[in-house]
Amino acid sequence: MNVIETVDLTKRFGNFTANDKINLTVEKNEIKCICGENGAGKSTLMNMLYGALQPTSGKILINGKEVHFKSPVDAIACGIGMVHQHSKLVPSLTVYENIMLGIEISKKAGKFNSPFIDEKEERRQVQELIEKYHFQLNAEDKVADLSVGQCQQLEILKMLYRNVDILILDEPTSVLTPQEVDWLIDNLKNLSRQGKTILVITHKLREVMAVSDSVTVIRQGKVIGVARTKDTNERELAQMMVGRDVVLTVSNENGGEPGSDTVYEVSGLCTNNHLGLDVLKNVSFQIHNREIYGIAGVEGNGQSELIKVLTGIMLATKGSVRLFGEDITNLWPDELRRKKIGIIPEDRYKHGLCRDMTLADNCSAGYLDDAEITRRGILNRKNMQKRCHDYIEKYDIRIADEYGNVSQCSGGNAQKLIIAREFESSPRLIIACQPTRGVDVGSIEYIHQCLLDFRNKGYSVLLISSELSEIMSLSDRVGVMYKGEIIGEADPKTASVADIGLLMAGTIPEGMR
């Protein structure tokens, strides 16, 4: 019996066809992965299933019955819950208040409901749910204080509380740490055994293989292929997704040995977060010329803070940062860029781009002081547009309207825009943070190649990523962060993934002491 079936489902936005006659079937209790590059139309499809968008034509059948969702409320009533890529939570409320939002439990006055909320009961129920699924949450924490990973957990929890039968997850692992990913996979399998049907949108093939029963691949709004997971493999899926053979891992082996001149030196860096906790403790490392230094670690061990300090949006309380021997500790972001440091920020849409500004404006962001862009405070719009045009051509950024806003870009193309901007400013050092997060396979390869080419020209890269495979295949040396410290360094060519895994868990393996 098909729980979900779509018949010739089509969605157009103006002239653009996002989904073209999609026929999708999902069986009961199965975990179905929808794969595709960014912009392939996965999210549009899911939004239609979830009632956030209405199809232009075609039918959706749930449990064999045709449905017309006007809004997500209808979908939830039908037992379909969605966990979004970008969390939709109220930051000023607590965990339990977010879960109970809209379905608060009233205090009982005899047989009747009183208008007051029974917070004690709400807290109890939520805490119970958290413990049942082993979430790393506390019912009374404020959402504003949660990490991105925890917010995602909360989103899932919210749907579980609402007893949905069909769970849709949009890029659920893009913000999770490796451990959290494994945990999520276990839980999804567990949930499907309990009778839930799960749809996962993703482009991480490793996770597709690990979690799903069957896969549907979408490219340019069309279904390209359907397969049972056990009958296919990563390479085949990747080929279907991008339509060409992808080198899944680029390696840095042919670029020559790293140099010996110290380019970037961080010593004894410390900082406190807004709660006054020590989040960075004596972080020290050096990067030489022609070297990629990777920082691995489970998310939440100080990498975000390290990034913020190194990119000038947070102050270090102790320690120093030097570039070619020059002290650049606690400089502002614009001053760092003037020192020729390219910054690829961790949160693309928060620190890297402004969605509601034009592509041209974004292409010049951070580099407004360039002589060709600004003279005596006056912008040269023509040159800005030209620069934007050049970047689009050179970096193969696919967009519909060159004069439009960044909001039209898919994740991969938005990231390429940042890559273009930072690499074209002739930097001496690139700080790349989660450079391929939420980016499609084709762009990942491209971005990796950019970083490697940059290194092979003799420059240095600081690569901070929670994607271990990325760190392992690109870096010349790897530092592992644990609880605000770099607890060990390893050579990815000789160290095993298991050793690095141990470091990430806070244990220093035998051979590395």
Partner 1 sequence: MRNHIGKKIINSILPVALAFTIGGIIIALLGSNPFEVYGVMIRKSLMEMKGITRTLQLASPLLLTGIAISLCFKANIFNMGIEGQLVFGGFMAGIFGSYVTIPNPVLHILLCFAVGIACALAFALIPAVLRAYYHVDEMVVTLVLNYAMAKVLEYLSTSVFRDAGSGYVCTPAVQKTAKFFLLGKTKMTAFVFVSFAVFLIISFIMTRTKLGYSIEALGKNPDFAEATGLHSRKKVMTLMLLSGAVSGIAGTGWMLAEKTFYTLDFSGSPGLGWDGMLIALLGRHSPAGIFVAAIFYSALKTGSEKIGLYTDVPNEIVSVIQGLMILFLSIQFLDERFGLFEKLKQKKADKEG
Question: What does the binding site for partner 1 look like in residue numbers (CB under 8 A)?
Answer: 54, 56-57, 70, 311-313, 332-335, 337, 343, 345, 347, 349-357, 361, 365-366, 368, 374, 377-379, 381, 401, 403-404
C-alpha–C-alpha distance, residues 403 and 422, integer Å: 20
Cβ 355 to partner 1 shortest distance, Å: 7
For partner 1, give the closer residue by CB, 251 or 329: 329
Cβ 345 to partner 1 shortest distance, Å: 6
The strand pair at 57-62 and 65-66 is best described as antiparallel
Of 279, 201, 344, the closest CA to residue 484 belongs to 279
For partner 1, give the closer residue by CB, 247 or 313: 313
Residue 188 · residue 211 · CB < 8 Å: yes
For partner 1, give the closer residue by CB, 343 or 471: 343
Q: Residue 121: how many CB atoms within 10 A of its CB?
A: 16
C-alpha–C-alpha distance, residues 188 and 156, integer Å: 10
Of 161, 167, 162, the closest CA to residue 184 belongs to 167
For partner 1, give the closer residue by CB, 24 or 353: 353
Cβ 56 to partner 1 shortest distance, Å: 6
C-alpha–C-alpha distance, residues 402 and 358, integer Å: 8
For partner 1, give the closer residue by CB, 163 or 407: 407
C-alpha–C-alpha distance, residues 331 and 166, integer Å: 49
- Joined tokens for residue 395: 């970096």
Cβ 419 to partner 1 shortest distance, Å: 15
Distances (CA, A) of 310 to 130, 286, 480, 486, 499: 35, 13, 17, 15, 27
For partner 1, give the closer residue by CB, 203 or 337: 337
Q: Is 292 helix (H, G, I), strand (E, B) or coil?
A: strand
Cβ 140 to partner 1 shortest distance, Å: 26
For partner 1, give the closer residue by CB, 203 or 348: 348
Cβ 257 to partner 1 shortest distance, Å: 34
Cβ 148 to partner 1 shortest distance, Å: 14
Of 73, 439, 4, the closest CA to residue 216 belongs to 4
